[in-house]
Amino acid sequence: MTVPTEVEFFTDPLAAGRITPRALLAPEGTVSGPFDAGLLERKNHVLICRLAGFGWYFNIGITQGRLVIQRPGAEVSVDAEWCRGRRLPPTVLYSWTLDSLRLTFGTHADHWDHPQVVAEAEPVPPPPGLIRWVREQEMTSVDEFASEEEFAVRVHSSLQRFEERLRPVLNRDFFWDLQRKGNRITARRPKRETDIQAALHAMLVDHMLLSNIDVQPEARSPAGSVDFQFTGSLRGGGRCRLCAEFKSAHSPDLVTGLAGQLRSYMDAAGTVHGAYCILDFRGPDFARPREETETLVGRLHAADAATPRGRRHPVKIHWLRLAGE
């Protein structure tokens, strides 16, 4: 039997570039979306996202009256009958790991107060051909983007790859302040974000060269300065922008940096696209923050949701785990 090699990637426009092919290939992840039980009653068909090719697929959406996550050898779903009599919030989290699929109702901040449905999943990794296709898409030279969503996918994909580029640098102690006793290192502490910004900028510029995306550090606006502003060209004229702020997970300003600082920069820059990149140094040399990552992510999403949004989209949170070996 011939395995189809044509690749299909789709996300609902409401995702605004925050769902990338790389994210759907990851061994674990979560996609948040609105929920309306009436769509199940009416048996509407809604495709939220899909990645398929080389005999492998990953689907999230509503089909034949069921809310569903599907991948080879696994499926979890609920239907209108299951929803009746349950007080379900207007948000659902679609989550997956190597051996499970999960529908969790509620937001990152309050989902533990609502029902969830879990199904065991056979670990079926994406085929090498599909992985190569995704990498080729990320590395393909681009002069102009067909839409803002295409631009946002490119930037978010690069930020998701960024962790791979950071890890080798960390082992050289470049991002750490060192305490020594003679020639022996006795302690390591992460440097401040401002002290590593030049290194981050150099690596980001290298990432964005093929995409013809300008990376401006400390971009100024009436709201102050944002760590980085990414700017790309749209086909037919026009420019698109994405503001990104890097923050250490142990920073006392972790939550306010997103809800106040980054959102203010986005408003001043006139962009609906934002990325909040968390540098998590927890490991053998550093133990802060003490809170669980899931708790911190919940607080960030709750703070972002509480900001007046208008036509803005939720900020994409990139959690970069950077502990040295």
Lowest average pLDDT, out of 166-180, 261-275, 283-297, goes to 166-180
Q: Which domains does the chain show, CATH number per domain?
A: 8-129 (no CATH), 141-321 (3.40.1350)
**What Rg value do the Cα atoms of the chain yield, rounded?**
21
Question: What mean pLDDT comes out for the span 158-179?
Answer: 75
List pLDDT tens digits, range 107-153: 998 888 899 999 999 999 999 999 999 999 988 889 999 999 999 99
Residue 214 phi, psi dihedral angles, 5° rounding: -80, 135
Does residue 35 carry a pLDDT above 60?
Answer: yes
- Please state, in angstroms and rounded to a whole number, the distance separating the CA atoms of residues 150 and 137: 11
The pLDDT value recorded for residue 323 is 66
Amino acid 223: pLDDT: 44
DSSP state of 125: P
Residue 2 has pLDDT above 70, yes or no: no
d(CA 45, CA 248) in angstroms, rounded, equals 41
pLDDT for 5 equals 67
Averaged pLDDT for residues 297-306: 90
Work out the angle between the directed axes of helices 148-170 and 128-139 (0-180°, nearest 10).
100
Q: Where residue 283 falls among pLDDT bands split at 50, 70, 90?
A: confident
Query: For residue 117, what are the contacts with CB-CB under 8 A and spacing of at least 6?
Result: 76, 77, 78, 102, 103
> What size, in residues, is the chain?
325
* Whether residue 1 has pLDDT greater than 50: no
Asked whether 208 and 162 are in contact (CB, 8 A), the reply is no
> What pLDDT score was predicted for residue 217?
86
The pLDDT value given to residue 170: 57
Q: Which of 135, 139, 94 is nearest to 116 (CA)?
A: 94
The end-to-end CA distance of the chain, in Å, is: 44
Tell me the C-alpha distance between 223 and 221, whole Å.
5
pLDDT band at 322 (very low <50, low <70, confident <90, very high): confident
Per residue in 289-300, pLDDT (tens digit) is: 999 999 999 999
DSSP 264-323: HHHHHHT-S-EEEEEEE--BTTB----S-HHHHHHHHHHHHHHS--TTPPPPEEEEEE--
> Given a cut of 50, is residue 92 above it in pLDDT?
yes
Contacts of 277 (CB under 8 A, 6+ apart): 159, 162, 244, 245, 246, 247, 318, 320
Contact 263, 277 (CB under 8 A): no
Q: Which pLDDT tens digit goes with each residue over 213-231? A: 999 987 555 444 568 999 9
